[in-house]
Amino acid sequence: MSAFGTLATPVGVIGVVSDGAAVTRVTWRTTPPGGSVVVPDTGSDPLLVEALAQMAAYFDGTLRRFDLPVDLGPQTEATRAVLTALHETVAHGETITYGGLAARGGTDVPARGIGSIMGANPVPLIVPCHRVVAGDGLGGYSGGEEGHGLETKRWLLEHEGALPTSLF
């Protein structure tokens, strides 16, 4: 059974799912995904407590790299390779283009396919898909509250210092 806890952040309520051994999901929702239970006392899952604490530290600016075990779930070999390359090589405050990540992932996935892989990322923020940008702008983002994906991506990149703060 998985445990689910939430954290209010500047970009909406973040939900985190833990199976006790790894973080299996990070989402923008206040209700648990299927198969998870809301844990009123998150202390019953130490990993969930730690994940929520690290999320809070990230949003208050004191954490630059998550140190949490993650389980990406069933993914293709190419998807796993690209998400792993992103997680291990693109640091806080950096960005990489879709094409750059395609090359760094060591697969034959074309740059256009990287966007689909980013959309399949079950643990955004921890595996920082918001740091993947188009060669000519922000690109897309499926994270954030519904209808606020690009706004969320811009906020996250500004928060990390990867983009100058918007004037508007």
Kindly list the catalytic residues. 129
* Pairing outcome for strands 96-97 and 132-133: parallel
Q: In what order do the strands lie in the sheet with 2-9?
A: 23-27, 12-18, 2-9, 36-38
Q: CA 76 to CA 34: how far, in whole Å?
A: 22
End-to-end CA distance of the chain: 44
Q: CA 24 to CA 83: how far, in whole Å?
A: 14
Question: Looking at residue 107, what DSSP letter applies?
Answer: S
